[in-house]
Each structure stands twice: as structure tokens, then as C-alpha cells.
């Protein structure tokens, strides 16, 4: 079973990857963390030194490594579905679950960690909500291609495990 968690930054994809991998007794991975290990730089440093285009190419390359693995839960970065036909590739490989939290909830989660996120590090708290609304509008068409869509009230262990059992 290959499970890809997609959605905006700050929706809890990494959190759910850890929980689900323990529950399913399989590998749980965070794509951004793997990119940082591979590049020996933080995501912020990659954006700053090499640019977003370079980052998106590396992101797609590291994502494709998962074509060789059999069972895992992968938390993807918020932009992953939008580049290099990544969403279509993930849908062919396994199941995709769109974790969809309200913008207000995401703002609350991201405000304390803005410095570590290159796309939002220079935004004031007031600008953050507008930026996230625009990003969601740009990305929603890609997220809608996910096999499943869980809104905030539906995001819990029981519902996610039910989805996974349907595909087992």
C-alpha cells in the first residue's frame, strides 16, 4: 500500500504520516525532510541559493524514488501535486488523500514557524492568510485529483484507516 498525503502546508500531513506509519507498521516519510538530507541543505537554503525551479526538480526526483518502494505513508510538500505531473504519478502509484484544513487553522499553525518556510518567511501575519487563500486557489485543481478528500472535521485516525482498509 502506497499512501500519499497531499494538501496545503500546515494541514498536518507530516503528523498523520507518523501516526499512520506506526498504525500500519510501515515506513512513514516526509518528502521535505528527505530532500534536505539529499541536498544537505534546508528547504529555505535551497530556495534561497538555488531557486524554486531547482527545488521543484529535486522534489520530483526524490518523489520518484518511491516508485521502487512497496508500502509506505508519504507526507508531501504543499506544492508537490502542482509540478512535473506529480499528482498523476502519485495516483498511479497508490492512493492520495487530500488533507484539507481551513485557512484560519493553517494560519494559526504556521505563524510560529514562518521562518522555516521559504514561501511565507517574509510575510506579516496579516499577509499570511491572503497568501494561503491565493495558493489554495492556485493548487485546488491539483488537490481535487486526489483519490480522497478529507475536510478538517473528517480528519481523524478512524476515517483515514477506513479509507486505507478499502484499498487493502
* For residue 126, pLDDT beyond 90: no
- Find cell 492568510 and name the residue: 129
117, three cell numbers: 518556510
The DSSP line for 34-71 is HHHHHHTS-HHHHHHHH-HHHHHHHHHHHHHGGGS-SS
User: Residue 141: which H helix or E strand, with range?
Assistant: helix 125-143
Burial class (CB in 10 A: 0-12, 13-18, 19+), 111: middle
Question: What are the pLDDT digits (tens) for 5-49?
Answer: 999 999 999 999 999 999 999 999 999 999 999 999 999 899 999
Q: What's the pLDDT at 116?
A: 82
- Find cell 476515517 and name the residue: 159
Mean pLDDT calculated for residue range 141-154: 94
Return left, alpha or beta for 25; rule: phi > 0 is left, psi -120 to 50 is alpha, else beta: left
Question: What are the pLDDT digits (tens) for 44-98?
Answer: 899 999 999 999 999 999 999 999 999 999 999 999 999 999 999 999 999 999 9
Which domains does the chain possess? 2-167 (3.40.50.300)
* For residue 106, pLDDT beyond 80: yes
Q: What's the pLDDT at 168?
A: 72
Amino acid at each position: 500500500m502506497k499512501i500519499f498525503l497531499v494538501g496545503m502546508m500546515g494541514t498536518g500531513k507530516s503528523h498523520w504520516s507518523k501516526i499512520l506509519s506506526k498504525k500500519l507498521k510501515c515506513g512513514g516519510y516526509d518528502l521535505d525532510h528527505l530532500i534536505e538530507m539529499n541536498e544537505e541543505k534546508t528547504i529555505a537554503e535551497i530556495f534561497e541559493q538555488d531557486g524554486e525551479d531547482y527545488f521543484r526538480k529535486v522534489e520530483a526526483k526524490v518523489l520518484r524514488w518511491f516508485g521502487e518502494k512497496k508500502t509506505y505513508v508519504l507526507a508531501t510538500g504543499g506544492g508537490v501535486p502542482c509540478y512535473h505531473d506529480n499528482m498523476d504519478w502519485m495516483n498511479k502509484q497508490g492512493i492520495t488523500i487530500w488533507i484539507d484544513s481551513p485557512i484560519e487553522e493553517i494560519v494559526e499553525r504556521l505563524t510560529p514557524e514562518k521562518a522555516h518556510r521559504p514561501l511565507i518567511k517574509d510575510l506579516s501575519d496579516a499577509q499570511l492568510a491572503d497568501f494561503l487563500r491565493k495558493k489554495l486557489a492556485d493548487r485546488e485543481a491539483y488537490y481535487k485529483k486526489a483519490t480522497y478528500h478529507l475536510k478538517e472535521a473528517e480528519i481523524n485516525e478512524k476515517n483515514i484507516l477506513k479509507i486505507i482498509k478499502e484499498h487493502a
